[in-house]
A and B are shown apart, each in its own frame.
Chain A
Amino acid sequence: MTLPADFIVVSILGPAIVMLVFAMITLLFAVFQVDRSATASMALVGVGTAAVFALHLLMKGQQGAAEAGFGLRYLGDTPATAFTLVILLGTALAILVSEADLSRLGLDHPEYYPLMLLSATGAIVLASAGDLITLLLGLEIMSLAVYALAAWRQGSRQSEEAGMKYFLLGAFASALLIYGIALTFGAGGRFDYAGLAAAFSAPGFDAHVLALLGAVLLLAGLGFKVAFAPFHQWLPDVYTGAPTPVTTFMSVVVKTAAFAALLRIASTVFASLGAGPLGELLPIMLGILIGATLIVGNFGALLQSGVKRMLAYSAVAHAGYLGLAVLAADTVGTNAAIFYLTAYTLMTAGAFAVLSAITNADDRGDEIERFAGLAARRPFLAASLAIVLMSLAGLPPFAGFVGKLLVFQAAISAGYVALAVLGIATSVVAVVYYARVITYMYFRESDQETIRPLAPTLRIAVVIAVVGTIALGILPGFWYGLVERGQVLLAGF
């Protein structure tokens, strides 16, 4: 087979290649035992450079001239680059949080940053995939590094258990995904989304049941990564057990990448199946998963006495809200999800950053009592956490409110009114558990416990998160406009 002359377009690969190169550089730093903070700086430089490449691609998309190459198996259009930017933002925040805590938590091994950059590379590939094989590659690159990071703290039973649990269940989920890929290939004879969508909607296509089987297995495999119920049970344990900087990384970067992949498949492959016989099944099943996720996540969070675990359940709940956007992926859902994930990255990273400033030296101790009187002791931390929590609860004028508005509107416009109502109803519940933390910080007596001084990088991370949360809430139109005006390759099937 000969490739067309314009098949390889290197610039599309720019962000991923840059991240890979910097992963290698930081690895060399590790070999030559360069100072850790220099490694962190280099990692941040890498993230920044990749962001420049991604911005370049985003601007091309704005002009309607998105680069198309690789037979659309690897995409550089607006959704892909916007997700890449969100991933880079999340990575940068995670690095800043890590830098403050690595030595304290006994995580100070030179391979840490290279692994994080590698994982982010995989996330970018996953978010840019236009083909099931690319998807699998990205997913595994991302996941393998995260499995290692989750178990990073040697000697800590929780951390090791978290890593092992994540790895075993992740392997199971990957098996489902690969099986799904095989069945989908069997039904459509292609791996690329464009080809699959064309095959499924071609006249005379009669393997609908096979294609649907493939689709539900793909859904299950990706549902694990995004934590749809009932594939979510690993998440509270892993988020709680993993070191907080790693949890920060997982909760924003891994989630963003997995949703990016799911949205792309939903808007192409699933959408083309939806038009065929039995096509109504897939949205119904997805809807049931999302409804269950909303309920399990919100009610689960209600019960938790540990803030870290509450945030873990809240991550499940937010997967449900994002799921509403997946239902409308072929129309406005993708844009809504990009905005939501941007907001989610800022506020979740902010919350975990504050958390990591408050936990014990060994990263344990996230009981809510520990937050009592924080407003009096550490007004900056308390106000920051209050703002990101209010945003997570969906209160105006913060970014989370706009995100919720967009996903509810997306679901309603796609006809899923009942699910949107469920989402709005559960967000009433959500206020209860977020407000509980705020109540402790502001309306409980301080127990006079001293907290160690705030590391400068952590302060930077918190400031970025809070300022971003407020700015996105007050002026959402700028970022959303960029996303909405952009060009989407691979739509219209």
Chain B
Amino acid sequence: MTQDVVSWAALAPALALLGALVNGLLGARLREPLPGIVASVAVGAGFVLSLVAFFAFAGRGEAVVVPLWDYLAVSGVELALGFHLDQLSLLMMLVITGVGALIHVYSIGYMHADSGFARYFAYLNLFVAAMLVLVMADSYLLMFVGWEGVGVCSYLLIAFWFKQGTNVDAARKAYIVNRIGDAGFLLAMFLMFRTFGTLDVAAVNAAVGAFAFGAGAITAIGLLLLVAATGKSAQIPLHVWLPDAMAGPTPVSALIHAATMVTAGVYLIARASPIFATSPEASAAVAWVGAATALIAAFVAFAQTDIKRVLAYSTISQLGFMFVAVGVGAYSVAVFHLVTHAFFKALLFLVAGSVIHALGGEQDVRRMGGLGTRMRITGTTALVGTLAIAGVPLLAGFFSKDAILVHTFSSTLVEDYGAYFLYAVLLVSAVMTAGYMFRWYYTVFCGAERLSKATGAAVHESPRVMTVPLVVLAVGSVLTGYLGLPAFAFPNWIEGWLAPVTAAVTFTHPALWIEWLLLLVSVLAAALGLGLGYWAYHLQKGAPAARLGVGRLAAFGRSGAGFDALYRNAVVGPTEGTAGALSIVDRDILDRGMASGVTAAGLLARVTTLWQSGFVRAYALAMLCGVVALVLVVVVAGVRA
């Protein structure tokens, strides 16, 4: 390792952690807005370090490894912890600390006068530290530490306003669904250790080369990683937590549930790209999960009436686009969309926060409207964000989404798994994206005001500390697109930048006119979606927004396509049933057993009293049964042998 400027970036997570400690331990004694400033400076300093490292790294090939310490030696393999700074991790760090710092600054205004001001910034800094560890880790072990860390911080921040009704339940739901993904990550990790004898990311990626194309072990690892990514990135069927996660403060939704944490799944797959490039099956699974998610979430977004839930489903849908991109092997394209999406979606969430702030907590778009004239900056930046996500040409979303569509169309990795269908699904999703986003914009910012008098009178543009981040993000939502212009005719920086760290997957190169045609199709998709959104908004003249979400299809969409009900019936019920059945066997006689012994009837009661009683003789009987079973097995086996 060389002691150069690049390795200084390894201090970024430590700075964020320090900020969290200061706010966590001394926060109660600091006066507002000091905790916010401390937190913003901690993340901002991380951004400066990352930026310096980024430019110092340009033109170099070798990753800079910053070793931390030796962790553990298992089965003769030394597991060491360290940070791995290369093209991919530096880019991610820039997004996390850059967008993160803006959101921290915005939060100073948004969280003004909140009783948990310091606590909020402590959690937010802790999140940034964990997220940085996730993307900087040089081994899957350390990545898992960050992976779990962001999950815990997400839990803490969703439940931040715990005095309000169901927020804590939303946080628990998010955490538990995420744990299913985490189990996938753990299993993938053990399988990797078994297959490659190491957990070092670079070593694993190098070792994959020795395996045949489509090898079973590689596919298994890929599918387990997909489970992990599905949980963290809220893909179907593990997406159910993200809409509920909107219970957290809006800047949290912008930072964690739009720009950074939820993209960790995409990052994970891009990081492990050699594994997926070796397994078309796993790649196809990734692509199809992404495509299904992109389409269904876009459909559901149409029916939502909460200003944030529209954006939540939109995020799920956009992550689906990224999953298709990594699925078809276009890793740098996926990261490109990750970056552009981080800007415009963070912008849209912060816009939503600004609106909620102005309306005193109102979140139902049916009671908004016409805000564009009264909140000029918010309205204008919202339009930029909407145009960007809709894929209107010359804005960031257009270039990244078009790149995904083109690469899906010309994929060779998953061409046996319906690449053209994937393209078609994405195209429809892209039209719908433009549609629901424009309707969202019209409903909130255009038309007649539908505010109640009390809120209407108080509407105001947000303070400078909130609008400046909006403007910066809006600028980013335009400019980041020029990092990756269509490669067939223009310079494409991001593809070249990420090429050394992602697996090379070949794509067919269609004729030039086809490339232009595909570009034109993307433009038409955005235009069609724009029209669709306008039509959907103006369809019901008079009360254009009041009828949002009416009708059977819309009701289905509003319920999130029925996933919550499905899980309630299929998973939660049986789990409670299992636990309940066990309680019959092991109930505490001292507290409850006697009462239930009286009320319970029939056979159940007999079984119950036999097992649950708390009486020594019943427990002894259970032990005896166990021993007799063990002895019988031996005797029977002995006789038969």
A residues adjacent to B (C-beta < 8 A): 158, 161, 164-165, 168-169, 172-173, 176, 208-209, 212-213, 216-217, 219-220, 223-224, 229-231, 233-234, 236-237, 240-241, 277-278, 281, 285, 289, 296, 299-300, 302-303, 306, 309, 332, 390, 395-397, 402, 405-406, 408-409, 412-413, 420-421, 424-425, 427-429, 431-432, 435, 439, 442-445, 475-477, 480-481, 484
Contact = CB atoms under 8 A, between A and B. Distances in A.
B582 interface: yes
Contacts of A427: 183
Given A220-B627, A303-B580, A480-B73, A209 B586 contact: no
Contacts of A168: 616, 620
Contacts of B590: 158, 161, 237, 240-241
Contacts of B595: none
B528 interface: no
B495 interface: no
B193 interface: yes
Contacts of A477: 69-73
Given A209-B635, A216-B630, A435 B175 contact: yes
Given A220-B626, A233-B622, A303-B580, A443 B586 contact: no
12 contacts: A169-B616, A172-B623, A173-B623, A216-B634, A230-B622, A233-B622, A234-B619, A285-B630, A296-B585, A300-B582, A409-B74, A481-B73
Given A168-B616, A302-B579, A431-B179, A230 B634 contact: no
B638 A208 contact: yes
B162 A442 contact: yes
Nearest to B591: A306
A303 B583 CA distance: 7
Given A216-B627, A475-B69, 12 more contacts: A165-B619, A212-B638, A216-B631, A217-B631, A233-B619, A240-B590, A303-B579, A396-B145, A424-B186, A442-B156, A443-B167, A445-B163
A425 B180 CA distance: 8
A220 B637 CA distance: 18
A408 B186 contact: yes
Contacts of A277: 641
A458 to B, nearest CB: 22
Contacts of B627: 176, 216-217, 220
Interface string B609-641: 000001010111011011100110111011001
Nearest to B185: A424
Contacts of A390: 152
Contacts of A402: 72
Contacts of A217: 627, 630-631
A387 to B, nearest CB: 11
A309 B589 CA distance: 13
The 6 closest A-B pairs by CB, nearest first: A209-B638, A443-B162, A216-B630, A230-B626, A396-B145, A233-B619
Contact of A219 (B75, B145, B630): B630
Given A233-B622, A428-B179, A439 B168 contact: yes
B586 A233 contact: yes
Nearest to A436: B172
B183 A396 contact: no
B638 A278 contact: yes
Contacts of A425: 183
A300 B588 CA distance: 11
A281 to B, nearest CB: 6
Nearest to B159: A443
Given A241-B590, A420-B190, A278 B637 contact: yes
Contacts of A223: 626
A174 to B, nearest CB: 12
Given A169-B620, A277-B641, A444-B162, A309 B626 contact: no
Nearest to A215: B634
A208 B640 CA distance: 13
Given A230-B625, A396-B145, A296 B182 contact: no
Interface string B278-309: 00000000000000000000000000000000
A278 B641 contact: yes
Interface residues of B, number: 62
Contact of B187 (A421, A439, A442): A421
Contacts of B641: 209, 277-278
Contacts of A421: 187
A415 to B, nearest CB: 11
B148 interface: yes
Given A172-B623, A230-B625, A477-B70, A303 B634 contact: no
Contacts of A241: 590
Contacts of A309: 588
A424 B638 contact: no
A172 B71 contact: no
A164 B614 CA distance: 12
B112 interface: no
Nearest to B25: A379
Contacts of B149: 396-397
* Most central of B155, B580, B582 by chain A CB within 10 Å: B582
A396 B71 contact: no
Nearest to B146: A396
A428 B72 CA distance: 24
B452 interface: no
A357 B547 CA distance: 56
Contacts of A396: 144-145, 148-149
Contacts of B148: 395-396
B586 A165 contact: no
Interface in B47-96: 69-75
Contact of A428 (B171, B182, B193): B182
A281 B634 contact: yes
B241 to A, nearest CB: 14
B508 interface: no
Nearest to A445: B163
A132 to B, nearest CB: 18
Given A172-B623, A237-B614, A395-B152, A409 B634 contact: no
A115 to B, nearest CB: 23
B194 interface: yes
Interface string B130-164: 00000000000000110011001001100100110
B498 interface: no
B582 A299 contact: yes
A83 B386 CA distance: 63
Nearest to A241: B590
A300 B583 contact: yes
B578 interface: yes
Given A158-B590, A406-B74, A409-B190, A169 B162 contact: no
Contacts of A475: 69, 71
A178 B162 CA distance: 56
Contacts of A219: 630
A332 B76 CA distance: 10
Contacts of B176: 428, 431-432, 435
A231 B626 contact: yes
Contacts of B619: 165, 169, 233-234
Nearest to B186: A424
B156, B163, B630: most-surrounded residue (chain A CB, <10 A): B630
B104 to A, nearest CB: 22
A445 B74 CA distance: 44
A285 B194 CA distance: 25
A309 B588 CA distance: 9
B638 A431 contact: no
Nearest to A208: B638
Contacts of A332: 74-75
Given A220-B623, A220-B630, A409 B162 contact: no
Given A230-B623, A476-B72, A477-B71, A296 B630 contact: no
A299 B582 CA distance: 7
Most chain B beta carbons < 10 A, residue from A233, A302, A420: A233
B102 to A, nearest CB: 28
Contacts of A213: 631, 634-635
